[in-house]
Chain A
Amino acid sequence: MKGVLLKDLYIAKSNILVTVVSLIVLGFGLSFLLETSALLVLAPVASTTAVFISITSDAGSKWNKNVIAMPVSRRTIIAEKYSFYLLLALAGLLTALIPCGLFSLFETDITLQSLWLYGTIGISATLFAGGISLPCAYLFDPEKSQIVFMMSFMASTGMIVALVLLINLFLPVKHHMLLAFHIVLAAAVLCFTASYQAAVRIYQKQDII
């Protein structure tokens, strides 16, 4: 897996400047409009675009065919994409902590609890979005996958809202905010794991032409 992951990290590196600049600009923007910590919601999702760039690039350059002829199993190829997605999401989260840390020197509204809450929401949204869009990247052609990728952000927001409303039936979310979003995070982890298994099954059966 190390070789294919390194290949994707090279692809991510070529887009890293755009991602970092976008996150910093977004951080400044949010600091005026909302809480700076809200950047933690957007950063992990925004950082994962390189995964879809790599999937498109693999197909365009025929690396997707070449790699199957190499001593790399189809399961490893999928496992690598999911690991790469998680790595990018974590890198995005950590990058977003930099402006949050800087602003915390001047603001008082950034607390450890708000950072944890927004981080949990961000990772949950990222896992739901990846859970939807990653298997679709192997089911559909690149154009359709791009559309699914963009729509998956909206879908993940919808899933989180739906889950929060559901939790609210049993537990007053306003009073148990962190617990409620920990439940959402657990559901997102389950969704991402199930999605990985589905993607492996899809890819095992797929003809690569």
Chain B
Amino acid sequence: METILNIENLTKVYGTVPNQTQALNGISFQVMEGEFLGIMGSSGSGKSTLLNCMATVIEPTSGKIQIDGKDLQKMKGAELAKYRGQKMGYLFQNFELLDNLTARENILLPVSLHGMSEKEGQSRLEELAKYLEITEVLDKFPDKMSGGQRQRVAAARALILNPKIVLADEPTGALDSKNARSLMEKLTGLNTNEQTTILMVTHDTAAASFCKRILFISDGVIFHELRRGDESRQDFYERILNVMAQLGGGRSNVL
């Protein structure tokens, strides 16, 4: 299996001497093609900083982020924009659909931004819409959709260009448990059937239990790693809860 994302000794320091905060303290890990990786951690653990570095929102102080063998830090301007759309799909906590565009137009935004042919975009759209069960809302505006539909539309938008990796930022954060479950099932399906690589940051143990592997971050370092073997989701869920409890915050940290 090919390595999609390679993170090496990543550090991020905020502020200047003497008021420095070490948000990331030498994190290294790899994400393989077709993986479904979860990142968990309490507030202030550094997971947001890590996600922001990968999403090229902030620059790391040192270390390396390589996607598909290319150094992210060396990318500038157009190449960076291309990375944001084509190599990486981003799934937001608050969906971030443009409310004056229909679902179809929202999904096709990356197509128009990155010059994919319209025909190709349309066929991919239909395929995704069918799978994510949003065909009937394609011509509706976001305010006419349910939260679950909105997030599935957002997922279709993140996936339309077949990105190398999907970064999901608390994707179930704004959903009720039923919709959250349905979304996670769809994402798992995509991961299993289409080999879509997904990296998800979450607080939600239930959502995390859909992942194949979970990294726990605390104080800017990887504190623990869990791999889901052949066990049931329920068992994996229990194991995650245990780690979360060990992290020191107990259940209050999980929610």
Q: Are A and B physically bound partners?
A: no
